[in-house]
Amino acid sequence: MRRNQIVLVLVWVVGIYATTLLCATVDYDHRALLIDGKRRVLISGSIHYPRSTPEMWPDLIQKSKDGGLDVIETYVFWNQHEPVRGQYNFEGRNDLVRFVKAVAAAGLYVHLRIGPYVCAEWNYGGFPLWLHFIPGIKFRTDNEPFKAEMKRFTAKIVDMMKQEKLYASQGGPIILSQIENEYGNIDGPYGAAGKSYINWAASMATSLDTGVPWVMCQQADAPDPIINTCNGFYCDQFTPNSNKKPKMWTENWTGWFLSFGGATPRRPVEDIAFAVARFFQRGGTFQNYYMYHGGTNFDRTSGGPFITTSYDYDAPIDEYGIIRQPKWGHLKDLHKAIKLCEEALIATDPTISSPGPKLEVAVYKTGDKCAAFLANDNDNSDATVKFNGNSYQLPAWSVSILPDCKNVVLNTAKINSASMISSFTTESSKADTSLEASTSGWSWISEPVGISKADSFAKIGLAEQINTTADRSDYLWYSLSVDLQDDADSQAVLHVESLGHALHAFINGKLAGSSQGINSNKRALNVDIPITPVAGKNTIDLLSLTVGLQNYGSFFDIWGAGITGPVILKGLKNGNTVDLSSQKWTYQVGLKGEDLGLSSGSSGQWNSQSTLPKNQPFIWYKTNFAAPTGSNPVAIDFTGMGKGEAWVNGQSIGRYWPTNAAPNGVCSDSCNYRGPYTSTKCQTNCGKPSQTLYHVPRSWLKPDGNILVLFEESGGDPTKISFGTKQVASLCAHISDSHLPPVEMWNSDTKSGKKVGPVLSLKCPHQDQVISSIKFASYGTPLGTCGDYYHGRCSSNKAMSILQKACIGSSSCSVGVSTDTFGDPCKGVAKSLAVEATCT
C-alpha cells in the first residue's frame, strides 16, 4: 500500500469508529431501558408536532428540557402525512423530521409512537379517510387490505427516520417506537382476529429493524419482544407481562381534553406528583406526561365528535406555550428529586413494606446506595411514619422522597414552586384598538341555503354522511321537495333521526330548527321541527354536520354520522303521517363558499357596500386587521359569534363554537387533590362557553394587512370579535416554615454545615423582565390564594419592605422563610410567607 492509501484507510477506520461512538444501543431488561448498556430513569412528555407551529417547537422543547424531561413523545399523524393515498405531506406543521431534529438539537430523546392508529382526540383517530374506501377493508383487525396499508405507512415512516439517521442505533434521538395504541382496551369485539392482528402488528414492527425497542400501550398480551406499557391517571399497580420487561408508563394524563359543551378539566399538580412518585416508588423507570404541551387542533383536525379546537389539556405548558405554574415548576422539582435517586433506583428492585394502613415504605438499597419513598395513601388523614429510627410527617395523599434513605428532599404535597396567573388582555379593552377601529371593516358573502353546486346528486333514501362526504367537508345537504297541497296551514312536525353531530333544518328557505348532540351521547340526535306547510311544493333542506370524526372505540371507523332516518312529517291534516325516508333526496357535499375558496379571502364577490348582516345563519365574513403589538401569544375572542370555522391569512385556526356552553353543576370551585382523580373531578367554567379564545400562532401574522375570514353557520355579530394577547399578570408563592428547602439545595447543608430552611423564590417568565412591584407580602398567618391573598391574625410588619428590597429590579429573587429574616410576629404559631409580585 502506498502512503496516501494508508492515510485514506486510516481516515476511513477512524471515521467508522467515530460514527459508532455516536450511535447508541438501546435495549431493556427487567428494571429499565438500557442506553449504551446503562439502565436509565427517564422522564418523558408528549408534544404533538401538528398541534403547534415549527416556529414554536424549539421553545416548547427547551421549556420541556428546563422542566426536567429527557424524552419527547409524539404520535405520527397518518392523515396529515398522506391526505390522498400516495401523496405525502411533510411540510410546515407536518415536518416530522424537522421536529425530531429539533428535539435532538436540544439534547433530548424521542419516543416515536407511529400507531398508525393514534386516538389522540384526532380526527378519525389519525386514519386517512381514503383508507375507509378500500374494497374489503376492515380496520384494526386481521384483514389483508388493512394490514397492507398499515405496514406500508409504518415502513414509510421508519424508512424516513432511517434515511435521516434519526434512530439512536444510527446516532439519532429516537430511543423507542410504538405500534398500535391501546388496542387491548377495545379488542374484545374483534375476537380471535384481534389476537392474530396484534401478533401480526408485533412481528411487522419488529421486522422493520429500527435497532430500538417497540412498545404497545394497554396491551397485556403484547408478544415478545414488544414491551407492554401502561396508560392512565395512576400506573403504580401495573406490571408488565414478563419479568424481562421494564415497568413503563406511556400516558400519565396531566389533565384531560375539552369538549364543546363540556366543562374545563383540571388536574391538581399535587395529585400528578403523587402518582408519579408512587410509580417510581413501585419500580417504574420510564414515565411520560400526556400531554406536556397539548396545543391546538387547527383546521378540522380535532377528533370527537365535539373535541374543542383548544387541546390545552391543563398540561404543564399551556396551549399558547407559556409554562403553567405551579404545575411545571413542581414537576420540575419532582424530576430533580427522582434523579437524585437514580443510581439506587436502577441498581435494584424496591423492598416494599407497610408500616400501617395505607402507608407504604419502599427502599432501594444496594451497597452504599440507598433511596427511599414513603407514601401516605390516605385521602384525608396525615400520618407519621417511622423509618430507620426517624419519624417522618406525611400529609394525606403524598409521597416523601429520601435520596439517601434519611433526609427528605421533596414531599409531593408541598409545593415550593411559584404559581402564576396569566390572563388575556383584549385589544378592545384598550382604547382605540378594537377590531373595528384597527381594520378596514367587514365585508360578507351569503352562503346559499340548500342545493347550489353543480356537483349535487340525487339518490333514493337517506345517505350515510361519512361515506358520502369522505370528510371533505363538515357539511352535507339533504334536500327534498314535497307536495303538500292538501295540508297547507296545518301545524305539522318534521321528525328527523340522525346520528349527528348537529343539524339545521330549513323549511321553504327559512331556518326552522337546529339541534346538536353532546359528547356524552355521541350517537343519537333526534329532533322535532314545527312546520306550517304551504299549499303545493314545500322544500325541506336539512344540513347535517360533523364536528370532528370519532377517534375511539371498537369499530369506531364505521359508527357513521348524518341522517339515518326515519324522517317523518307528523300531524298533517286528518292526522296523516308521511315517511320521507325513502324519497329521492338531493345531496350536496360541502358549501359553495368552500368550493370557491373563500377561506383565503382573495376570491369571491365580497360585499362591503350594503348593511353588514348580523345574527343571520350562513354568512362568510372577511376583514383585515393589524396584529396585536408585542410578542405575546395571540388569540381571537369569538364571543358574539355562533358556530363556524375561521381562517387567518388562509390558514385555518379551527372550528369556533362560543355558544356551546358547559353545563351547570359539574364543577367544583375548590379542588381537593386528595383521593383518586377522575377527569370530571375538578372541572371549572360551568355555565360558561366551553371555548371563547382561539389561538392564532404569531408566525401566521404580519404586522398589518392580515386577512380574517369566518364562515358563520348559525348567526353572530362579527363586530363583537376582539383580539387578545396572553401574558403573565402575577407571580405568587406561599411557603410555610414546614416546607422543605429547595431541591437544588439538597446536600448543601452537609457541605456548608449550615441548616438550610424553606425559601420563597420568584422568577419572571421572560429573561428580559424584572420584578416591578410587590402587590402583597405577609409573613405570619396569611390566607387566600394567588391574586387574592389577605393578612391573617398575625403578620410581621417587615415583610413588604424585605420583599421589595430583595426582589424589585431583579428578574428573580429568593428569601428565606424564617423568623431570622422576618422576626417572630406570633410565637409558637406555625407561620408562612405569602407574596404576590408583578413583572414588567
Taking the C-alpha atoms of residue 135 and residue 834, their distance in angstroms, rounded to an integer, is: 66
CA distances from 352 to 100, 370, 643 (A): 39, 14, 55
Nearer to ligand GAL, 154 or 490 (CB): 154
Q: Cβ of residue 290: shortest distance to ligand GAL, in angstroms?
A: 6
Nearer to ligand GAL, 284 or 294 (CB): 294
Nearer to ligand GAL, 71 or 563 (CB): 71
Helix (H, G, I), strand (E, B) or coil at 163: helix
The span of 92-100, 117-125, 477-485, 800-808 binding ligand GAL (CB under 6 A) equals 117-125
Contact present, 177 and 28 (Cβ < 8 Å): no
Q: Which grid cell sits at 525?
A: 340526535
Nearer to ligand GAL, 684 or 738 (CB): 684
Per CB under 6 A, 307 contacts ligand GAL: no
Catalytic residue among 82, 251, 319, 360: 251
Nearer to ligand GAL, 118 or 667 (CB): 118
Binding-site residue total for ligand GAL (CB under 6 A)? 9
In one-letter notation, the amino acid at residue 7 is: V
Q: Cβ of residue 551: shortest distance to ligand GAL, in angstroms?
A: 7
Per CB under 6 A, 428 contacts ligand GAL: no
The span of 112-120, 134-142, 189-197, 435-443 binding ligand GAL (CB under 6 A) equals 112-120
Q: 634 - beta bridge partners?
A: 696, 725
The span of 119-127, 334-342, 644-652, 743-751 binding ligand GAL (CB under 6 A) equals 119-127
Q: Cβ of residue 310: shortest distance to ligand GAL, in angstroms?
A: 13
Taking the C-alpha atoms of residue 489 and residue 503, their distance in angstroms, rounded to an integer, is: 25
Q: Which grid cell sits at 793?
A: 391574625
Nearer to ligand GAL, 231 or 417 (CB): 231
Nearer to ligand GAL, 231 or 795 (CB): 231
Per CB under 6 A, 257 contacts ligand GAL: yes
Q: Cβ of residue 552: shortest distance to ligand GAL, in angstroms?
A: 6
Q: Cβ of residue 182: shortest distance to ligand GAL, in angstroms?
A: 5
Q: Cβ of residue 253: shortest distance to ligand GAL, in angstroms?
A: 6
Q: Cβ of residue 181: shortest distance to ligand GAL, in angstroms?
A: 5
Nearer to ligand GAL, 119 or 682 (CB): 119
Contacts of 482 (CB under 8 A, 6+ apart): 537, 538, 540, 569, 578, 580, 583
- Omega before 54 cis (within 30°)? no
Residue 73's nearest CA partner among 224, 248, 221 is 248
Cell numbers 406528583 correspond to what residue? 273
- Which residue in 70, 82, 121, 180 binds ligand GAL (CB under 6 A)? 121
Nearer to ligand GAL, 96 or 707 (CB): 96
Contact present, 425 and 724 (Cβ < 8 Å): yes
Contact present, 105 and 38 (Cβ < 8 Å): no
DSSP state of 323: B
Q: Cβ of residue 186: shortest distance to ligand GAL, in angstroms?
A: 10
Q: Say whether 360 is catalytic.
A: no
Per CB under 6 A, 645 contacts ligand GAL: no
- Which residue in 53, 228, 229, 231 binds ligand GAL (CB under 6 A)? 231
What values do phi and psi take at 119, rounded to 5? 65, -100
Taking the C-alpha atoms of residue 702 and residue 135, their distance in angstroms, rounded to an integer, is: 46
Q: Cβ of residue 118: shortest distance to ligand GAL, in angstroms?
A: 6
Catalytic residue among 182, 427, 447, 594: 182
Nearer to ligand GAL, 74 or 231 (CB): 231
- Residue least distant from ligand GAL (Cβ): 119
The span of 116-124, 335-343, 361-369, 683-691 binding ligand GAL (CB under 6 A) equals 116-124
- Which residue in 104, 112, 120, 399 binds ligand GAL (CB under 6 A)? 120
- Which residue in 181, 301, 727, 795 binds ligand GAL (CB under 6 A)? 181
Taking the C-alpha atoms of residue 60 and residue 340, their distance in angstroms, rounded to an integer, is: 25
Q: Which grid cell sits at 451?
A: 342545493
The span of 115-123, 155-163, 423-431, 644-652 binding ligand GAL (CB under 6 A) equals 115-123
Length of the chain equals 840
Contact present, 93 and 53 (Cβ < 8 Å): yes
Helix (H, G, I), strand (E, B) or coil at 281: helix
The 8 Å CB, 24+ separation contacts for 567-570 are 567/462, 567/494, 567/495, 567/496, 567/497, 567/542, 568/494, 568/495, 569/482, 569/484, 569/492, 569/493, 569/494, 569/495, 569/531, 570/492, 570/493, 570/494, 570/495, 570/528
- Which residue in 119, 334, 463, 572 binds ligand GAL (CB under 6 A)? 119
Q: How far is CA 223 from the centre of its chain?
A: 30
Number of H helices, E strands in the chain: 15, 41
Q: Annotate 210-223 with b (16+ C-beta within 10 A) or e (fewer).
A: bbbbbbbbbbebbb
Q: Cβ of residue 656: shortest distance to ligand GAL, in angstroms?
A: 22
Neighbours of 704 (CB within 10 A): 11
Q: Cβ of residue 205: shortest distance to ligand GAL, in angstroms?
A: 17
The span of 16-24, 114-122, 720-728, 751-759 binding ligand GAL (CB under 6 A) equals 114-122
Nearer to ligand GAL, 118 or 372 (CB): 118
Q: Checking DSSP bridges between strand 248-253 and strand 286-293, what pairing results, if any? A: parallel
Taking the C-alpha atoms of residue 292 and residue 70, their distance in angstroms, rounded to an integer, is: 12
Residue 628's nearest CA partner among 681, 682, 704 is 704
Helix (H, G, I), strand (E, B) or coil at 209: coil
Q: Say whether 251 is catalytic.
A: yes
Taking the C-alpha atoms of residue 307 and residue 259, their distance in angstroms, rounded to an integer, is: 4
Per CB under 6 A, 182 contacts ligand GAL: yes
Q: Which residues are near ligand GAL by CB under 6 A?
A: 118-121, 181-182, 231, 251, 257
Residues serving a catalytic function are 182, 251
